[in-house]
Amino acid sequence: MTDTVDNLILDLVEWVERQERTYRETMDAWRTSCPRLPVWEDACDRGFVEGTAVNAGVVVRATPAGLAFLKENRPGAYEELKGRAIVSSDGHDQRPFAPFGSGCILAP
């Protein structure tokens, strides 16, 4: 099952990097009550995604660790995102947002 979860985590990291996603939008798409597919929870536990305060809301984005995981496992997707100037050559997110806090937000 780990390969399945890892692939879904990669999908999640790539999905949040393709365009700005709100916390609510992310939860609607990725949160599950299935104990065998804890994609959101595992991505948070591994430090691959985080909530970020933007204006009056929260967006979800990949962390440098999440981007490194994407680069290692899906270099083509990583390079495409890097080409869109979201990811710098050293693997850091280039968006001007401040982190909301450490880890994930598990409730709105």
The whole-model pTM stands at 0.76
Residues 5-64: tens digit of each pLDDT: 899 999 999 999 998 899 989 988 887 777 777 888 899 999 999 988 888 788 899 999
Q: What are phi and psi of 21, to 5 degrees?
A: -120, 135
Q: Give CA–CA dist 57/26, Å, rounded.
A: 13
Name residues whose C-beta falls within 8 Å of residue 45's C-beta, 6 or more positions apart in sequence: none
Mean pLDDT value of segment 89-95: 52
Helices (H), the chain: 2-18, 23-30, 39-45, 64-73, 75-83
Domains annotated for the chain, with CATH where assigned, are 2-99 (1.10.10)
Residues 62-86: tens digit of each pLDDT: 999 999 999 999 999 998 888 765 5
In the prediction, which pLDDT does 92 show?
Answer: 52
Contact 44, 104 (CB under 8 A): yes
Chain centroid, CA 94 distance in Å: 14
